[in-house]
Amino acid sequence: MSSSILETKGLCKAFGGLTAVDEVDLSVETGRITSVIGPNGAGKTTLFNLIAGVYMPSSGEIYFEGKPLGNAPPHKRAALGIARTFQNVLLFDNMTALENVMTGQHPRSRYGFFEAALRLPKAHREEETISLKAKQYLNLVGLGMYSDRNPLSLPLGQQKLLTIARALATEPRLLLLDEPGPQRTHQAHPGDGHHRCPRRARHGFGYGHCRMGHRPRQRPEDSGRHCLTDPEEQEGHCSLPR
């Protein structure tokens, strides 16, 4: 039996005359890291937008835990356990770093509008639990000491880590990271944890995880599969047809 949490079959997306994603067959196995690699414009973000339900495919199908996602909108896919980060960092600047991570937990909270508005004990207790868990996720990405900081006061690399913590806080079954590492122009400190923290989280929480970037991962043991959009650059790995 296949252990794939995510499979795409013949996935295509065209914008007018431009085919951004062309016949992509991708398989992400539960508990493994899968990388999608290609140069700018290769279609990586579009592929993630298709999986997250931001765009509907022109043709092809996406299967999550063996079932076709069909036309399910983004919030239904999020409820199923598909979480993603964005290539461009999107954080709430009127909240602290910790509160940003707490927002990841809120879709899973059970208290209602009135319990929150009237500050009833149920809402209070649940908020405390959410805050404790959010602290754990902040620690996991190495940002525990910055919980009270305005997220935009952090360097870009740490902002990206914060978005990973927020995505982890949704307790996903599949985590999609769109260019999670620092940009080439924003080289991070080698110990900053961009590559370590998803691995730690995978061992700690056990979920499938798919990352994308321009270069292959240097640690083949981490990646179930490299799917490339530039076969000349990355000979020897499987390539996506263009």
Ligand X SMILES: Nc1ncnc2c1ncn2[C@@H]1O[C@H](COP(=O)(O)OP(=O)(O)O)[C@@H](O)[C@H]1O
Query: Which residues, listed in sequence order, are joined to residue 220 by a DSSP beta bridge?
Result: none
d(CA 203, CA 7): 22
| Only segment of 23-31, 33-41, 61-69, 108-116 that touches ligand X (CB under 6 A) | 33-41
By CB under 5 A, tell whether 45 contacts Mg ion. yes
Query: CA separation (Å) from 64 to 47, 157, 237?
Result: 14, 30, 24
- Name which of 40 and 94 has its Cβ closer to Mg ion: 40
Scanning residues 86 to 145, which ones bind Mg ion (CB under 5 A)?
A: 87
Residue-level length of the chain: 242
Tell me the CA end-to-end span of the chain in Å, nearest whole number: 30
| Only segment of 84-92, 105-113, 213-221, 234-242 that touches Mg ion (CB under 5 A) | 84-92
By CB under 6 A, tell whether 41 contacts ligand X. yes
DSSP-derived letter for residue 175 is E
- Name which of 40 and 71 has its Cβ closer to ligand X: 40
Number of H helices, E strands in the chain: 7, 10
What is the nearest approach in angstroms of ligand X to the Cβ of residue 12? Answer: 12
| Only segment of 7-15, 85-93, 161-169, 233-241 that touches Mg ion (CB under 5 A) | 85-93
Task: Say if CB 174 and CB 5 are below 8 A apart.
Answer: yes
Task: Catalog residues that contact Mg ion under the rule CB under 5 A.
Answer: 44-45, 87
Task: Catalog residues that contact ligand X under the rule CB under 6 A.
Answer: 15, 18, 20, 38, 40-46
